[in-house]
Amino acid sequence: MNLGIEGRHALVLGGGGGIGRAVARALAQEGARVTVADVPGQLGDLDPGWDRQPFDLLDEPGVRAALVAADARSPLEMLVNAAGVFSRTPLPELDVAQFQRVLAVNLTGAFVACQEAVRLMLPRRRGVIVNVASLAGQVGGLVAGPDYAASKAGLIGFTKSLARYAGPHGIRVNVVNPGVVDTPMTEQWTPEAVAKVREDTPLHRIASAEEVGWVVAFLCSDHAGFLHGTHIDVNGGLYMD
């Protein structure tokens, strides 16, 4: 591809995980400068050409400081939020503490990171934000619990609200909804559940992380210049909106 993003600085939250790493690879392959932010344990075996930024989405000042530090090294032009936690706890067993913890990572953490990114990008009137939500936020979760589904539905709504605010300031904002993707997160699914998804998906397979990574990279580029406030489904036709 020739996405025209050479030299632009991208911060990939959750870039040590399956989808985030694929996003980082795609952006780096297109010549972007990449900073990967993740919990320290996930930053070990990354491409040596990428900057590393330890952070925890549960730590509000730490999230803000991570964005400020990355931006200080080189002004941020792209923020991709591919960090998140999964849950498959059924409704009757779900307690308030867990519900709040999943929302704290997947939704409140995303809010803090996006708010800080907008604060940094706004004076420059330039920037792109892509959040990674989920099919679970659209259909209630096939295997995922109510906490995960609620966090991702919230992230879709939040991203659209952010797009309304940030668009007039020159910042493009979109959200990607993967179906089921072959990453460490999917190891929490039973083989039977994955087989059922394969069967129900018109393309009869699950996605590779790269197939999500390249969609995100495209959204980050000027070729997607009029895509704003929208959700892009990467689900092989499992759910057609």
Ligand X SMILES: NC(=O)c1ccc[n+]([C@@H]2O[C@H](COP(=O)([O-])OP(=O)(O)OC[C@H]3O[C@@H](n4cnc5c(N)ncnc54)[C@H](O)[C@@H]3O)[C@@H](O)[C@H]2O)c1
93 contact partners, CB below 8 Å, separation of at least 6: none
Q: Under the criterion CB under 6 A, does residue 224 sit at the interface with ligand X? A: no
Q: What is the DSSP letter of 117?
A: H
Angle between helices 146-166 and 96-103 (to 10 degrees): 30
**Could you say which residues in the range 90-109 bind ligand X, by CB under 6 A?**
105
Residue with smaller CB distance to ligand X, 58 or 156:
58
**Closest CB to ligand X among residues 42, 201:** 42
Catalytically active residues are 148
Minimum distance of ligand X from residue 181's CB (angstroms)? 4
In the bound complex, what is the minimum distance in angstroms from residue 22's beta carbon to ligand X? 8
**Residue 178 touches ligand X, criterion: CB under 6 A:** yes
Token pair for 115:
């708010």
Is residue 180 at the binding interface for ligand X, with CB under 6 A as the rule? yes
- Nearest CA to 215 among 137, 132, 151? 132
- What does each C-alpha distance from 218 to 10, 58, 212, 214 come to in angstroms? 13, 29, 10, 6
148/154 Cα distance (integer angstroms): 10
* Span near ligand X by CB under 6 A; candidates 66-74, 80-88, 194-202, 222-230: 80-88
Q: Closest separation between CB of residue 58 and ligand X, Å? A: 5
Interface contacts to ligand X, rule CB under 6 A: 14, 16-20, 38-39, 42, 55-58, 82-86, 105, 132, 134, 178, 180-181, 183-186
